[in-house]
Amino acid sequence: MALRENHVNYSVSNEDIKKLSEQAQKYAKKLNAVFEESHKVVIGQQDALQKILISIIADGHVLLESVPGLAKTLMVKTMAQIFNVDHVRIQFTPDLLPADILGTKIYKNASGSFVTQKGPIFHNFVLADEINRAPPKVQSALLEAMQERNVSIHGDTFELKKPFLVLATQNPIENEGTYKLPEAQVDRFALKILIDYPSKQEELEIIEKNSSEQEDKVNTIISPEEILEIQKFNEKIYADKVVTEYIADIVNATRTPKDYDLDLENMIEFGASPRASIWLMRTAKANAMLNGRGFIIPEDVKAVAHEVLRHRIILTFEAEANGITSDKVIDFVLEKINPP
């Protein structure tokens, strides 16, 4: 995962950078062990697993998009076992209610009082399967919990567990019986990851693994306390002013492409929100940590740009009609904006 380290001017001392990098290398060793351990169970999907790991480091939620059967549930279960946290899978359906996610109060005849029955949101890792099948009220309840990291149940406020990660999935094929996620809610996901089919070789491994009686198990590599420690350290990863400006230019180019000599005005209806800048920085820092560096470079930003931006750029009807995707728009922007 080595990346080049030149073309960046640092405004802090070399000694500080060295100390940050030494600590980053220690964490990187453990994090890369997590990556390797997950491959005992999950065949292929290296990029998706790496981006999920980045989201955990950056303390952000993930929107996964893929057809059914591409190991989304297995990924969450495996990561939860490696991190020794509890997890839950919620199948979203049109008849789901907010109380089914958050919990409710029930009356106990024996005591003559109401007690709080907490819902599945009170787990560390939550897989919201086919989130777009649930009505808007349920989607809003989940996304509010994601943002606030606490929930209110009949007037009482409860904090959610830490670490807390929501991985919501969408099926891009079926639209019948679904409720499109509002753009303002989609914006709350740090990353949107597209999961593709496995290669033929990976398919053969999947067949062999699922045809044998042997069940592969993963070991715990990192504790929940260590996850919180790594998330806190991620905030300390150094970002030079020129890299911060690079991030700002990328995001701003999606809003005012003409200012950057980009002919995209007929393609972009609305550009990325300020959350894009925040998550580009946080996830770029996480990518730097995975590479054992205590500072970020432009390649870290590029490594996460598509996942951070693709769900935050709203295309025009003309662009969609011509087969232009948000990923193509991001490619145009990254090609035009010169890294420092």
What are 131's two structure tokens? Answer: 């989130």
CA proximity to 83, closest of 120, 134, 30: 30
Q: Which residue has the higher pLDDT, 213 or 266?
A: 266
**Which of the residue ranges 193-197, 247-251, 278-282 would you say has the lowest mean pLDDT?**
193-197
Q: Give me the residues paired with residue 310 across strands.
A: none
Question: What is residue 125's predicted lDDT score, i.e. its pLDDT?
Answer: 94
* Weakest-pLDDT range from 138-152, 225-239, 289-303, 314-328: 138-152
- Condensed to tens digits (0 to 9), the pLDDT of residues 116-126 reads 889 999 999 99
User: Cα dist. 2→273, 293, 340 in Å?
Assistant: 31, 10, 19
| Assessment of whether the complete model's pTM goes beyond 0.85 | yes
* pLDDT tens-digit series, residues 179-189: 777 777 788 89
Given 3-state DSSP classes, what are the helix, strand and coil percentages for the chain, each rounded to the nearest 5?
50, 15, 35
Q: Where are the domains of the chain?
A: 14-336
Q: Which helix (H) or strand (E) holds 39?
A: none
Helices (H), the chain: 14-38, 46-58, 72-83, 98-102, 136-148, 183-186, 200-211, 224-234, 241-255, 274-290, 298-309, 317-321, 326-336
Question: Model confidence over 136-181: pLDDT tens digits?
Answer: 888 888 888 888 899 988 888 899 999 999 999 887 766 665 677 7
For residue range 205-236, list pLDDT tens digits in order.
888 888 876 777 888 999 999 999 999 999 99
Quickly state the pLDDT bin for 56 (edges 50, 70, 90).
Answer: very high
- Which residue in this structure is represented by tokens 């890369």? 32
pLDDT at residue 9 in the model: 47
* Superfamily grouping for domain 14-336: P-loop containing nucleotide triphosphate hydrolases (3.40.50.300)
**Could you tell me if 243 and 296 are in contact, meaning their C-beta atoms sit under 8 angstroms apart?**
yes
